[in-house]
Amino acid sequence: MSRIGKKPVAVPAGVTASIADRILTVKGPKGELTMPLVDDIAYAIDAGQIAVTPANDSKRARAFWGMQRTMVANLVTGVSDGFTKVLEITGVGYRASVTGSNLRLQLGYSHDVDFAIPDGITIKTPDQTTVEISGRDKQRVGQVAAEIRRWRKPEPYKGKGIKYRGEFIFRKEGKKK
């Protein structure tokens, strides 16, 4: 039994959900998201909630149950509240700024890194060392954050680089004399 899968997904006011042709469509104040439905899982929309249950007793159905419920919950959260990832830049001379539809990163290379902001994603830089990535699709927000972080991962000796807010960087001791 999936503990996560047993809980129905609550649909808040202002959000509508519908199923047509094995596609779940969720509309809300932040836009519309769709997801193809898996054959081994049964989906039911009633009384302001979406219930996800396995359609049969197969191992695949039980394995997909909790994941599919979480994906439905991410759709509902995305169109109602949205998702945000915050990156912190640490290092002397390292900074970020948004210019038009590009994120300009200065990360100690001989050149500036220009990152094109994809559609459906909003990037803000409240200060030079903080980058806020937000959007309605959790997977795309996480992917963009990972692509930006990939330019300069935090190193273990001084901790310089781009890290997620709240991420712990395991520090190593330097050379001894």
Q: What percent of the chain has pLDDT over 90?
A: 92
In the predicted model, is pLDDT for residue 76 greater than 80?
A: yes
In the predicted model, is pLDDT for residue 1 greater than 70?
A: no
Domain edge (last residue) among 20, 46, 80: 80
92 and 30 within one domain: no
Mapping DSSP to helix (H, G, I), strand (E, B) and coil, where does residue 33 land? strand
Other C-beta atoms closer than 10 Å to the C-beta of 115 total 17
Report the C-alpha gap between 107 and 153 in whole angstroms: 10
Q: What digits encode the pLDDT tens for the residues 115-148?
A: 999 999 999 999 999 999 999 999 999 999 999 9
**Domain of residue 27, residue span:** 3-80
Q: What percent of the chain has pLDDT over 70?
A: 99
CATH of the domain at 109: 3.90.930.12
User: For residue 172, is it within any domain?
Assistant: no
What does the DSSP 8-state code read for residue 65?
H
What does the pLDDT read at residue 44? Answer: 93
50 closest CA partner among 2, 22, 27, 18 = 18
Domain edge (last residue) among 80, 96, 130: 80
What does the pLDDT read at residue 72? Answer: 96
96 and 39 within one domain: no
Total number of domains constituting the chain? 2
Cα torsion 4, 7, 12, 16: sign: positive
Phi-psi region of 161 (alpha: psi -120 to 50; beta: other; left: phi over 0): left
160 and 87 within one domain: yes
Average pLDDT over residues 104-109: 95
In the predicted model, is pLDDT for residue 165 greater than 70?
A: yes
